Structure 1
Amino acid sequence: MTAEPFAASGASGRADASYEKFQEVTDARGRVYRIGESDRDILGRPRWTMVVLPWVAMIAISVFEYAFGAAENTLSAAHHWSSSNTFWVLSVWIFFQASVSFPAGKLREKGILTSRKAMLTGSVLSLLGFVSLSHAPNVAAAMVGFGLLGGIGSGLIYSTCVNMVGKWYPERRGGKTGFVNGGFAYGAVPFIFLFSYGFDTSNYRTVLDLVGFYVLAVTLVAGMFFKDPPKNWWPSDIDPLRPPTDPRTAMALAKNPPAAAQFTPGEALRTGVVPLMWVCMLCCAGVSIFGISFQVPFAKDMGFGPLIAASSMGVMSVINGTGRGVVGWLSDRLGRRYTLTYVCLTLAVAQFGVLWAGEMHNQPLFLVFAFLSGFAGGAFYPLFAALVPDYFGENNNASNYGMVYSAKLVSGLFGGGLGAMVVDSWGYVGAYVMAGGVSLLAAALSLLLHQPGAPRARAATV
């Protein structure tokens, strides 16, 4: 990659006097890089803190989604709801958790909503979500409180945390994004066992209220230290116009080269790649949410005891989270598009396997496929989160990824509420076979992804 310096600028027009002089350079494709400022110049501390703090916050909000299936029986009994009604509450939460990502991203990129304000707002709304779920007089109130308020709150936190990492690690974002994203799954493990063994109609209000205050405390403290880097920022120790000397960074950039330009949401949409990503994520997320919602009920229906049922979900959550980090790390070495295809295929195998092991009443085999389901059911999230800035740049990543992530608001309806209807009509066999088929469709769609502005020959390695 060869180019001439684009411009050199001082600190004019910037309110933060701690920023020293920086330089903007452009590569042969016209992409601008802002160099000369270290992470400590901007943050006053190393940038790895902007991996750890988002990770901690993601751990806290994971209880919303990944522990809900374990709490379903008690919630239904305590509130006198049907199982379908209870899962529709989760579906509403998923809808708003996903839908807030794009508008929040636009507000962040315009400077109206800082990352810190997004976190603090999300913390308070998350608390209100759990308090509403514990004291809701009816399903409608739970949908408004837990579904709408809790969904918006956790969505603000989720999107802020995920997008933060890609901005601070533009040269090697796969493993870091996967690590942070993983907290959204395995952070729920203690609550899965709590809701399976220590959660009943006599204490459910107290437990849910305490969980809400736990989420508030953790996300509030972490969010106080959030800060985005300047637009076009590039690490000061890496020359964007020359091959990196660090072999790990060199491999990551070779397999996942920087975007050809900083695409606006409209420009990204017009490439045709965003709609393709959206449908692919719709399929993956729908299957993942289905597994999260119904694996414990399916295990119990197959005659497995509460320990196996809870353990299968615990295994799913742990592997779902750790798998995100592992897959992110692998994608830096293998290429993100190839890794995404492998993950979709694994997700398909897992759906058929869980059904097969359950029908055979084979507990060890059931846990093995729960392992695979958990691994693949979360691994695609950090891959999409890293693919979007890979393809469209970091400057508008919050809103660009918000467009893709909005697929989850539709998939929540398929995986949760409509999933319950399919189980009621076709049984678990029909539902799991359908989930496996949808996963295979996602694998086929992933083969069509390519980096806009890049030659197709090179894009095939992305």
Structure 2
Amino acid sequence: MISKTLDLQADSTASAHSRWYQLVAAMVCMMAISSPQYVWTLFTGPLTVKLGASLAQVQITFSLLIVLQTFFSPVQGFLVDRFGIKKLIAVGCAVSGLSWVLAAHANSLTSLYLTYGLLGGLGTGIVYVGIIGLMVRWFPDRRGLAAGAVAAGYGMGAMITTFPISNSLRDAGMESTMTTFGIILGVVGLVASQFLRQPPAAQEIAEPKVVSTVVDFTPKQMLKTKVFWLMFAMFTMMSTSGLMVTSQMASFAKDFGMTNVMVFGMAALPLALTIDRICNGLTRPLFGWISDRWGRENTMAFAFFFEGVAMTLWLTTSDNPVLFVLLSGVVFLGWGEIFSLFPSTLTDTFGTRNATTNYGFLYMAQGIGSIFGGPVAALLHQYTDSWTPVFAVAISFDIITAFLAFFVLKRMRSNWVAKNAVAA
């Protein structure tokens, strides 16, 4: 009996150590699929010229990418649970890279939609949802930090590629750039995926401070609750707010006169995009870690309000190149944390057993946000000939969601968790 106990303790210690290696491999996979979303803005100009299309038409590609990434995420989560994390993540990374290779040769809007939008969305969605679901299982005691760390990989991965892709677009053209980087990113993700595996039972790796949890709810049960739909609405508004910026940045930077200016000896737009990736990545583990200690809703309220203020300052100082670059980073610092706060809050509320599929349903809110953040925002600018209405909508969503987090979600979820708590 003593020997068996010691063996179990040794296994638990080994699992606790190996989960950090899992975290590293998961972050690399996320970095490999981040560029299709976060460097998209660099391709919009060349694509409108090549295809003879309007910005609003080209932006439909971005919406398709996010919609396919998110609306099919419950199915993707189910497939990961059914066929295994390693195989599905490998397929997702390969398909994501292939989407760029094929999109490089797109000669019509339809082919662009099918390659960059459809294939890219399905590939990145499999990886994103699968990785988030895996990490909240590996880290029941540091759920916010772990979800934030891998989400940071997604947010910061494009930091490494922004300048190389920008330079390659200038020197080699769009077709060569998308083909080369599609192959590189696909191979990197494929290799990293081979190190992933499912964790043992949660109680074997949990720290002693984890003293309670909630009943594990199925997706069907979760979808019948008010607390889920409140989180869904909040996620949708915050996603819309952020995507209005990430998908349109090159366009409004041009209108603000920032595409041909230098800041600190570098071109303003790629410099801003690089700083954005750093801040968008750092905010995810940072606020995830804070939420593990300060509370999910308290952290949401602060971060969302902070982004609203930063975006207001960004708009009012849009004619200053230095402030344009610096405040773009501050805005992203207040947005990217939604990808650590919402999955950790959802798993806290509905349990770990169905975490991947459950988050797949919540992540669909990102798809709705992409519709408003992409072509609808472009159309709003087209009809008003101003970016002010676009920013006004984004700022309003930030402030509303901050108040919902503190005054509504906090009380609703507290009652829910108290009702459904069980001993760990």
Same fold (TM over 0.5): yes
2:361 is aligned with 1:403: yes
Structure 2 residue matching 1:135: 3-state secondary structure? coil
* Alpha-carbon shift at residue 136 of structure 1 (Å): 0.9
- Offset at 1:349? 1.4
Letter in 1 for 2:418: P
Indicate which of 432, 438, 441 corresponds to 2:391. 432
CA distance, structure 2, for counterparts of residue 64 and residue 384 of structure 1: 22
User: Which blocks of at least 5 consecutive residues in structure 1 are unaligned?
Assistant: 1-19, 23-34, 245-252
- Check 1:207–1:196 CA distance in 2 against 1; reply closer, same or farther (3 A cut): closer
- Does structure 2 conserve the Cα–Cα contact (< 8 Å) formed by 1:87 and 1:417? yes
- Alignment identity in percent? 26
Alpha-carbon contact 2:12-2:205 (below 8 Å) kept: yes
SS at match of 2:198: coil
1:328 aligns with 2:288: yes
Whole-angstrom distance in 2 between the partners of 1:284 and 1:208: 30
Q: Tell me the secondary structure at the aligned position of residue 259 of structure 1.
A: strand
Residue-pair matches, total: 406
Tell me which amino acid in the other structure corresponds to 1:46: S
Report deviation, 1:320.
0.5
**Residues 65, 118 of structure 2: 8 Å contact kept:** yes
Deviation at 1:258, TM superposition (A): 4.6
1:345 and 2:322 correspond: no
- Name the CA distance, whole Å, in 2 between partners of 1:113 and 1:60: 22
- SS class of match (2:169): coil
In the TM superposition, residue 439 of structure 1 has moved relative to its aligned partner by: 1.4
CA distance in 2, matches of 1:352, 1:237: 42
Greater length-normalized contact order (CA 8 Å, ≥ 6 residues apart): 2
Corresponding position of 1:3: none
| Aligned twin of 1:96 | 68
Mapped to 2, the partners of 1:99 and 1:208 lie a distance apart of 25
8 Å CA contact 1:133, 1:208 repeated in 2: yes
- Equivalent residue, structure 2, for 1:444: 403
Looking at structure 2, the residues matched to 167 and 36 of structure 1 have their Cα atoms a distance apart, in angstroms, of: 19
Deviations along 1:401-446, one digit per CA (max 9) or x if unpaired, are 1111110111111001111111111210111111111111221222
Alpha-carbon distance change, 236 to 288 in structure 1, aligned in 2, over 3 angstroms: closer
From the superposition, tell whether residues 303 and 376 of structure 1 become closer, same or farther in structure 2 (CA, over 3 Å): same
Match of 2:164 among 170, 183, 194: 194
Task: Tell me, yes or no, if the aligned pair for 2:144 and 2:344 is still in contact at 8 Å.
Answer: yes
Structure 2: give runs of 5+ residues left out of the alignment. 1-5, 261-266
Cα distance in structure 2, aligned partners of 1:416 and 1:165: 29
Among 40, 49, 53, which residue is 2:14 paired with?
40
Is the helix fraction higher in 1 or 2? 2
Cα deviation 1:92-133 (Å, max 9, x = unaligned)? 101001122211222334xx2211121121122112210222
CA distance in 1, matches of 2:99, 2:50: 17
CA deviations over 1:28-85 (Å, ceiling 9, x no partner): xxxxxxx9952636x9x71111100010111111101111112221222233332222
What secondary structure sits across from 1:377 in the alignment? coil
Partner of 1:67: 39
Mapped to 1, the partners of 2:113 and 2:301 lie a distance apart of 35
The SS at the match of 2:68 is helix
Matches within 5 A, 1:139-178: 139-178=109-148
Greater mean alpha carbon deviation, residues 200-209 or residues 375-384: 200-209
- Aligned to 1:78, what secondary structure does the other structure show? helix
Superposed CA offset, 1:233-258 (max 9, x none): 2235734xxxx3xxxxxxxx5xxx75
1:183 pairs with 2:143: no
1:412 equivalenced with 2:350 (yes/no) = no
- The equivalent of 2:263 in structure 1 is none
Using a 3 Å threshold, how does the CA distance of structure 1 residues 365 and 383 change in structure 2: closer, same or farther?
Answer: same
Show structure 1 runs of 4+ deviating over 4 A: none
| Superposition TM-score, scaled by structure 2 size | 0.89
Task: Tell me the amino acid that sits aligned with residue 224 of structure 1.
Answer: Q
Structure-1 residue corresponding to 2:77: 105
CA distance in 2 between counterparts of 1:62 and 1:146 reads 13
* Aligned partners of 2:94 and 2:189 also within 8 Å: no
Identify the residue that residue 290 of structure 1 maps to in structure 2: 244
Residue 51 of structure 2 is aligned to residue 79 of structure 1: yes
Q: Distance in 2 between matches of 1:260 and 1:237?
A: 15
Q: Post-superposition shift, 1:395?
A: 0.6
CA contact (8 A) 1:258 1:390 kept: no
CA contact (8 A) 1:39 1:47 kept: no
Partners of 2:32 and 2:93 within 8 A in 1: no
Alpha-carbon distance in structure 1 between the residues aligned to 2:206 and 2:183: 41
- Change in 2 beyond 3 A, CA 1:258/1:221: farther
